[in-house]
Amino acid sequence: MRVTVIGAGTMGSGIAEVFALNNHEVLLSDVSNDILNNGRKKIEASLEKFKEKGRIKSVEDVLEKISMNTDINAQESDLYIEAVLERIDVKRDVLSRIRSDAIIATNTSSISITYLSKFVRNPEKFIGMHFFNPPPIMSLIEIVRGNSTSDETTKKIVEISRSLGKTPVEVNDFPGFVSNRVLMAMLREAIIAYEENVASAEGIDTVMKLGMNHPMGPLELSDFIGLDVVYDIMNVLYNDTGSERFKPPITLRNLVYAGKLGRKTGEGFYKYK
Ligand code: NAI
């Protein structure tokens, strides 16, 4: 199958890697060659780890499956996956520029699939395919049907997800779907606990790791997701529901304004080397 992945950031590069690992021909697209090269480096580093673990024989053979281009229509594909910033204006621009009648999936974390379907040529062929970070490791894909998504499109995406070795779960088009509705409420409460000095960042994370058996604490996880991404998702949920339980905390906003976006910039709630 030929697949176009638009956005070569944290998620797009990982999604491109997943398809390449499964022998599909991938076009990875982003706004500049520098960003694409960074995406390639991330994929290469991840593939090196797979090689060390003996899960693949050759990094080059997998990398060869991925071509890169700033033109999102450079390859005629069977599936397009949008993984650009969590902003409606950016997604609208990208989705409306795809010149194809193939299925288009969005990796959005929180924006309504029904709303985004207004920007594509065939809303019945538009669906949410929500991967988790990092896509090559995480086995869940949340499949989100918009109001116009056809049964055929859903069936196809469920089949593709299984063929990638993932577990698809079908959910309906509600703000944050299942994953971010539950997760964002928890991350927000952890950030407010930090603001109020209930405990240090390490203290909050250790309580949640050892007490609730979470593999990562909520502040550590926020840094891992990217604080700008967390902030954008909370804003979408807050606007869509009007509920205080998603209102972005000021500490989060200020970290984002300061460019401290978590692991990807070397600092967020924690500092990274
Ligand atoms: P990111 O900031 O790492 O990457 C976004 C990429 O989109 C950047 O490389 C940017 O240059 C590119 N981009 C912006 N405008 C573009 C355009 N017009 N054409 C092509 N590329 C463009 O963000 P990340 O974390 O990869 O998130 C992408 C999407 O995935 C968002 O919708 C986010 O909500 C979702 N998501 C993020 C997860 C995470 O843990 N970070 C998990 C699951 C979904």
ipTM here:
0.98
The CA-atom distances, in angstroms, between 13 and each of 16, 29, 53, 75 are: 5, 9, 20, 17
CA distance 98 to 126: 12
Beta strand spans in the chain (E): 2-6, 25-29, 66-68, 79-82, 103-106, 126-130, 140-145, 167-172
Q: Which distant-in-sequence residues (6+ apart) come within 8 Å of 121 by Cβ?
A: 98, 100, 101
The strand pairing partners of 105, in sequence order, are: 81, 127
Q: What is the mean pLDDT of residues 163-189?
A: 97
- Residue 167: its pLDDT value, please? 98
pLDDT in tens, 93-118: 999 999 999 999 999 998 999 999 99
Residue 217: CA atoms inside 13 Å, Cβ hemisphere, count? Answer: 21
Q: What is the mean pLDDT of residues 238-245?
A: 95
- Residue 228: its pLDDT value, please? 96
Mean pLDDT of all residues belonging to the chain: 97
225 lines ligand 1 (CB under 6 A): yes
CA distance 72 to 59: 25
φ, ψ for residue 202, nearest 5 deg = -60, -40
φ, ψ for residue 271, nearest 5 deg = -100, 145
Smallest CA separation from ligand 1 atom 29, residue = 83
pLDDT in tens, 55-97: 999 999 999 999 999 999 999 999 999 999 989 999 999 999 9
Ligand 1 centroid to Cα of residue 10, in Å, is: 7
- Residue 42: its pLDDT value, please? 97
Which amino acid type is present at position 43? I
Residue 157: CA atoms inside 13 Å, Cβ hemisphere, count? Answer: 31
Task: Find, among 81, 77, 136, 147, the residue nearest to 114 by Cα.
Answer: 147
- Residue 241: its pLDDT value, please? 95
Length of the chain: 273
- Residue 20: its pLDDT value, please? 98
Asked whether residue 101 is marked as a ligand-binding residue, the answer is no
Residue 13 is a catalytic residue: no
Residue 24 is a catalytic residue: no
Ligand 1 centroid to Cα of residue 196, in Å, is: 31
Q: What is the mean pLDDT of residues 196-214?
A: 98
Strand ranges of the sheet holding 140-145, from the earlier edge strand across to the other edge: 66-68, 25-29, 2-6, 79-82, 103-106, 126-130, 140-145, 167-172
